[in-house]
């Protein structure tokens, strides 16, 4: 079995056909799903999906793009739910900072505050983190090294920055998604063998980052199989070994 450790099933792009999307995934062997909490405005939807489906779990947090909606008190009302397995998706994203240097600096400061608050919160709750890092490796590494608890977490791996591999020793895992299948994914393909196998997870980030050969279309958890195939090709593991490995990793990190 495969676990999609990062799929935004609360996204409005699944409003029409979520049941079919889940069914297609299950038929491909994708049997558990984790919805990261990115935008608090759809958190209730995530909880509703997790309550309806035994195989769906969720996390509570705020993505850097949605940080103006960060309200810790509101989020706290969801963390005791039995299906809440992590804090995040939180992190740093310097990809689209304002052009004005002082505005950009202020944005970075604010992102770091919101990120640290969520790291500390996860530590207090003894829950793992789901971390998004884009063009912000050095700052993210510094903050995680300083603040993260023993529970660690998972990093989205599309930046493929080898410096972040240091965090494996701090119990961080690496979520491998569709980017690995892209024709121009040389960076991630090169970093991939350096990731300790006991720290590999599979994710889609659906509806984003659709793997080859569907790149450009809406992504969905069933496409985990394309990621798994590529991981097998690069590691020499059989499909069965890869599924056992990554599912064991999921169970260790998220206790599901």
Q: Which residues of this protein are in contact with Ni ion, per CB under 5 A?
A: 205
Q: Is 77 helix (H, G, I), strand (E, B) or coil?
A: coil
Residues 6 or more apart whose Cβ sits within 8 Å of residue 210: 178, 216, 217, 218, 219, 223
Smallest distance from the beta carbon of 36 to Ni ion, in angstroms? 5
Q: Which of 132, 237 has the CB closer to Ni ion? A: 132
- Which of 189, 242, 255, 205 is CA-nearest to residue 2? 242
Compute the least distance from the CB of residue 199 to Ni ion, in Å: 19
CB of 8 to Ni ion, least distance (A): 6
| Closest CB 57 distance from Ni ion, rounded Å | 15
Which lies closer to Ni ion via its Cβ, residue 10 or residue 205? Answer: 205
Query: Between 43 and 237, whose beta carbon lies closer to Ni ion?
Result: 43
Least CB distance from residue 108 to Ni ion, whole Å? 20
Rg (CA), the chain: 17
Tokens, residue 231: 């991981």
The phi, psi pair for 53, rounded to 5°, reads -115, 120
- Whole-number minimum distance, CB 7 to Ni ion, in Å? 8
Distance CA 23, CA 254 (A): 23
Of residues 96 and 169, the one with the C-beta less far from Ni ion: 96
Report which residue's Cβ sits closest to Ni ion.
205
Helix or strand (DSSP H, E) at 163: none
Nearer to Ni ion (CB atom), residue 151 or residue 205 = 205
Asked if 200 contacts 228 with a C-beta cutoff of 8 angstroms, the reply is no
Q: What is the DSSP string of 23-59?
A: HHHHHTTEEEEEE----GGGHHHHHHHHHH-TTEEEE
**Neighbouring residues of 82: CB distance < 8 A, sequence distance ≥ 6:** none
Q: Which is nearer to Ni ion, 63 or 83 (CB)?
A: 63
């Amino acid at each position: 079995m495969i676990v999609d450790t990062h799929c935004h099933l609360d996204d409005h792009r699944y409003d029409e056909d979520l049941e079919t999307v889940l069914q297609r995934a299950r038929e491909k062997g994708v049997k558990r799903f984790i919805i990261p909490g990115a935008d608090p405005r759809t958190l209730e939807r995530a909880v509703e999906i997790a309550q309806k489906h035994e195989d769906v779990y969720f996390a509570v947090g705020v993505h850097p793009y949605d940080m103006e909606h960060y309200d810790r008190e509101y989020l706290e009302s969801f963390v005791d739910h039995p299906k809440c397995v992590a804090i995040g998706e939180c992190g740093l994203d310097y990809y689209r900072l304002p052009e004005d240097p002082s505005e950009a600096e202020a944005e970075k400061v604010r992102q770091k505050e919101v990120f640290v608050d969520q790291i500390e919160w996860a530590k207090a709750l003894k829950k793992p983190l789901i971390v998004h890092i884009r063009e912000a490796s050095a700052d993210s590494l510094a903050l995680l090294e300083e603040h993260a608890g023993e529970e660690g977490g998972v990093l989205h791996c599309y930046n493929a920055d080898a410096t972040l591999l240091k965090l494996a020793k701090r119990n961080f895992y690496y979520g491998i998604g569709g980017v690995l299948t892209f024709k121009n994914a040389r960076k991630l393909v090169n970093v991939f063998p350096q990731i300790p196998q006991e720290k590999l997870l599979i994710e889609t980030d659906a509806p984003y980052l659709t793997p080859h050969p569907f790149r450009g279309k809406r992504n969905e958890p069933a496409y985990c199989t394309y990621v798994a195939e590529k991981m097998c090709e690069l590691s020499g593991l059989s499909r069965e070994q890869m599924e056992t490995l990554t599912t064991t990793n999921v169970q260790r990190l998220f206790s599901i």
